[in-house]
């Protein structure tokens, strides 16, 4: 369980006016992250040198660090036939080895370098992932196969370096893996009982808690 790549990027405006193809029309994004040499400072709102374009859905304390498992990249390379689909390809800040959505739980606290992190929610890949790689179905593929990644909130600020190990400090909700949360969000949308249980998990992000409480209430009504 190791941090294999630290990735940051600035906000860019891409595309051009009058383009016919959706991929080439103007858009603003921070998804193009590049690996950087450490140490890198990580604060409660993210990594030094990193920015997000749309702060209504990205960034903030609950989504300070976007994480993706490098263990998935060989499968993506085979499926997409793209050799350079590797660290940073999902626009993640941390690329990890040895952990996937089946191994990480909501509310987990992990130590990494000088910092301490808590798992807050799965990542919900947006349309910008598909646009970055010019594959319209890519976002849907990630949701369907569960290889979404997840977010950390930062409990203790400090420095991290590539190669730092991740150490599990506590796991209050072992039944609620990222994979399990993804199942409730994307594949059990009418299950009010499951939504209510997920909403009650300690450490779940504010946005996901609201969504699950809304589902639980509407289905119950």
Q: Count the Cβ atoms, other than its own, within 10 Å of residue 190.
A: 9
What does DSSP say about strands 158-160 and 166-170: parallel, antiparallel, or unpaired? unpaired
Name which residue leads in pLDDT, 219 or 141.
Answer: 141
- Tell me the C-alpha distance between 122 and 107, whole Å: 11
The secondary element (H helix, E strand) that includes residue 159 is: strand 158-160
- On average, the pLDDT of the chain sits at 94
Q: Is the pLDDT of residue 52 over 90?
A: no
- Tell me the C-alpha distance between 141 and 125, whole Å: 10
Q: Is the pLDDT of residue 139 over 70?
A: yes
- DSSP secondary structure string for all residues of 98-147: S--TTT-BTT-EEEETTEEEEEEEE----HHHHHHHT-TTHHHHHHHHT-
The CATH class that applies to domain 2-172 reads mainly beta
Please report, for the chain, the start and end positions of each structural domain, with discontinuous segments joined by +.
2-172
- Tell me the C-alpha distance between 126 and 143, whole Å: 10
**Percentage of residues in the chain having pLDDT higher than 90:** 86
For residue 20 the two structure tokens come to 């016919």
- Look at the block and give the residue holding tokens 């059990």: 188
Q: Is the pLDDT of residue 204 over 60?
A: yes
The whole model's pTM is what? 0.94
């Amino acid at each position: 369980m190791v941090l294999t790549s630290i990735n940051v990027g600035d906000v860019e405006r891409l595309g051009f006016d009058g383009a016919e193809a959706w991929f080439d029309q103007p858009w603003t994004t921070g998804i193009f992250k590049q690996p950087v040499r450490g140490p890198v400072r990580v604060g409660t709102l993210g990594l030094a040198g990193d920015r997000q374009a749309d702060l209504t859905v990205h960034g903030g304390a609950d989504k300070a660090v976007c994480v993706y498992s490098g263990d998935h990249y060989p499968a993506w390379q085979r499926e997409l036939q793209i050799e350079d689909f590797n660290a940073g390809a999902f626009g993640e800040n941390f690329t990890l080895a040895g952990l996937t959505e089946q191994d990480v739980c909501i509310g987990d606290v992990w130590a990494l370098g000088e910092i301490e992190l808590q798992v807050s929610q799965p990542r919900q890949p947006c349309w910008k992932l598909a646009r970055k790689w010019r594959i319209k179905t890519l976002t849907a593929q990630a949701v369907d196969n569960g290889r979404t990644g997840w977010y950390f909130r930062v409990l203790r600020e400090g420095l991290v370096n590539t190669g730092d190990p991740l150490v599990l400090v506590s796991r209050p909700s072992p039944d609620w893996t990222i994979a399990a949360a993804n199942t409730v969000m994307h594949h059990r949308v009418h299950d009010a009982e499951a939504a209510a249980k997920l909403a009650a998990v300690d450490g779940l992000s504010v946005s996901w808690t609201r969504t699950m409480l809304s589902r639980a209430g509407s289905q119950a009504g």
